Structure 1
Amino acid sequence: MTRHAAWLWTTPEAQAVLATRELGPILRAYRRMRSESQTATGILLGYDKTYVSAIELGKRRVTDVASLRHIAERIGVPPHVLGVTDIADTDFRAMLQFGQSTVRLAELARQAGHASEAVAELWPLVARLEARARDGYTEREALRLLANARLGLGTALGNVLPEERLATAAHWTAKSLNAVTHFDDPALTTTALRMHGNELRKAGLLGAAVNRLVRAASLAPDRSGRAAVLPLLARAAGALGNAPLFDHTVQEARAMLDEVEHTSLVNPIALHEIQIRGLLGTGRARQAIQQSEEQAPAPTTAVAPQWHVIQLITTGKVRLVSGDVPGAQDLLARAVTAAHAHRLPHQLQRIIRMNSPDIAGVMEEAEQRLSRLRNQMAA
């Protein structure tokens, strides 16, 4: 399959050629990357082979704006690289300057429990970047921003969508993963694999999720990168029922807690919840009960609101399994209120799926709250 022209320019070598702003070297580099003859490139541009040769050798200079814009469009480089600028291109350059800030602020909003606001910020950015990429007006900086924006959008959607629509979140993280393959950046690839694997898990594609997360752990360029993958790998392995992988991953993750900086994901509280949930998923309810009865570790970093909801539901499920119905009802009722406040339909559905007559009232309230969230999304 022929690679889209825009992605040809993502390598550092190609970027160095673009930095010359010289049409001859740029055209020659384009042919080399595409393994094309001057005849083939001439056909693409509507020029004779000898004319292409003259441009590459610097014997013929193209100066008129219409021709330069035509060449830029056909070989997939931004017009400004060849000296052609217009209002739209200038506006796009300004957007690139603020794009990374948009992605960072959206992630902070998601971690603070405002995933819907993150989606609202990222959706127009992704739409505009993709439209420009389809038109061929792009470059390495824009393509990298597009990869990060797609990843952020998919992750935020994974928080706000109900279970039956979680495949949409996985779709966007998959598109990010497709994009990062064009960059020789292990850290970026690890992040994309990690987040895509987690969205696959939430969408119920557990085998694929474990596969992506194992790859992410193996590709992580440093200990911090690997530590960020392990909690999610443990969750996926537990959900899949793979006890050996789950136990090994939790053990390694615990050992690394003292080595790396704690984050909203890599911290004792999150790992405590993951271990309880994984023990249930691998058929070890007694051990899960024992683990839940131990005092939860004190937080060493700010824990995202969704993690508090997840922890309430997991602990409530363990209380239900152990026969502590009042305790389960109390924890799950608090989880329903918090899940609705932070617009987390997937967590409400976790409670509904318990399908126990002992928590019938809590499940009914969760269904009502879920219906309200769906109505809000529809509106």
Structure 2
Amino acid sequence: MGRPNAHGGIRWHWTTPRAQDILRRRSLPEILVFHRQLNQLPQEELGALLGYSTSYISRVETGSRTITDVGALRHIAERLGLPPHVFGITDDADGDHRAMIQFGESVLRLADIARQAGHAAAAVDELWPLVARLEARATDGRTDADLLRLLARARVGLGVALGHVLPEEHLATAARWTGKGVAIARRLDDRPLYAHALRHHGNELRKAGLHHAALDRLGRARGLSRTEDDRAAAVILLARAAGTASASKAFDDAMAESRSLLDSVGVTPLFSEFTLHEVHLRGLATTGRTQQAVDLLEHSPAPGLQASPQWRIISAITAGEVLLRRGDRDAAGEQMRSALQGAELHRLPHQVQRVIRASGFLPDVRERAQNTLARLQADIAA
């Protein structure tokens, strides 16, 4: 029997456009059919999961039998791993606006901690029920500014977490969610929130391969930043996007600005000597300055306590790519194998895909990476 949301593997499918349309209609028949399709369950097994007969499930799915009892709907939501808010069911906390906002803020903080610690799948599991809950309230017309700000941040946070755990072919879903956060922030005319949302949306667009749009969003985020810390967070991502797009001048300008900010802002998991070195190294390689990248590799800083597992993995892959360009296959293979171990541990399929692309001259690494990707994709598809 399929296991709903095992290790978060199925849950991301509920964030796709098709699933969001189904949830927005709060249609139990459609939800049941979609759940069975995701988990490859026949009606008999879904009935066993929910405690209903096969014929009863069939009647519910065809619409000849409706379920309106709150207790029954809450039971179904729990068994399917869905928040009850998708059926319009609220809880006591929803009646207290302040309590609900505080709950949401707590979820955002916990999810961010989990993601930074290399547990992005856990962050998705935390954030998606919150987003569903807030979306339901917004659909019901509860659109005060505090709730909308929370919803914008939750949408962005969900998109960022999805951007860590989805393979490349699905990264547009992550960009879509950060874009939905941008839309709210723009309507609220909240400049710091808008800059925050644009920054993350631009980075997800870069990962999805939409380079021009990524540079546009990140340039606007930099322009809107009011503090040096926010500007540093935007400009390092701008440098990364410019390097990916092979936009040499934009890359050089963003790197120079990043360097100028390094001594005046606090170290964060995103902005540090370590992360800036990786962005510089990769950008030099992608803009055709291989020898400069090789020279820079000789002066790699230590990761430091703030470096997240994600950045350590990214840095190892980048170092492996540069070492291959230098012709040092043994050292490159060591870096790539280390990155693969971390990518599998933290379930980062698109980083494994990056290794596959880079390891054409390392057949053993390539084979290991392909096997790793197959395992991760099987997990994602449950």
The equivalent of 2:275 in structure 1 is: 270
The equivalent of 1:347 in structure 2 is: 351
The Cα offsets for residues 184-219 of structure 1, whole Å up to 9 and x where unpaired, read as 322111111100000000000011000100000011
- 2:210 alignment partner AA: L
The equivalent of 1:246 in structure 2 is: 251
The equivalent of 2:336 in structure 1 is: 332
Comparing 161-170 and 359-368, the one that deviates more:
359-368
The Cα offsets for residues 211-254 of structure 1, whole Å up to 9 and x where unpaired, read as 10000001101211111111100010001111111011101101
Normalization by structure 1: what TM-score?
Answer: 0.75
Shift in Å, 1:95: 2.6
- Of 372, 375, 378, the match for 2:375: 372
Contact 2:347 2:376 in 1 (8 A): yes
Structure 1 residue ranges (4+ consecutive) displaced by more than 4 angstroms after TM superposition: 85-89
Contact 2:94 2:100 in 1 (8 A): no
- 1:128 alignment partner AA: R
- Give the number of the structure with larger relative contact order, counting CA–CA contacts within 8 Å between residues 6 or more apart: 2
The equivalent of 1:362 in structure 2 is: 365
Contact 2:359 2:365 in 1 (8 A): no
Are positions 1:316 and 2:316 aligned together?
A: no
Query: Tell me, which stretches of 5 or more residues in structure 1 are unaligned?
Result: 1-84
RMSD: 1.6
Contact 2:211 2:241 in 1 (8 A): yes
Are positions 1:111 and 2:116 aligned together?
A: yes
The equivalent of 2:186 in structure 1 is: 181
The Cα offsets for residues 256-278 of structure 1, whole Å up to 9 and x where unpaired, read as 11001110011000000100100
Tell me the distance in 2 between the aligned counterparts of 1:96 and 1:138: 13
Distance 1:87 1:117, change over 3 A: closer
Shift in Å, 1:346: 0.8
Tell me the distance in 2 between the aligned counterparts of 1:284 and 1:213: 24
Normalization by structure 2: what TM-score?
Answer: 0.74
Contact 1:96 1:142 in 2 (8 A): yes
Tell me the distance in 2 between the aligned counterparts of 1:305 and 1:237: 24
Tell me the distance in 2 between the aligned counterparts of 1:86 and 1:254: 49
Contact 1:332 1:351 in 2 (8 A): yes
Distance 1:89 1:122, change over 3 A: closer
Query: Tell me, which stretches of 5 or more residues in structure 2 are unaligned?
Result: 1-89
The equivalent of 1:134 in structure 2 is: 139
Contact 2:303 2:312 in 1 (8 A): no
Find the residue that maps to 1:270 and give its secondary structure: helix
Tell me the distance in 2 between the aligned counterparts of 1:189 and 1:89: 26
Shift in Å, 1:97: 2.1
Distance 1:87 1:243, change over 3 A: closer
The Cα offsets for residues 303-355 of structure 1, whole Å up to 9 and x where unpaired, read as 11000000000000111110001111111011111110111111000011125
The equivalent of 2:37 in structure 1 is: none
Contact 2:93 2:100 in 1 (8 A): no
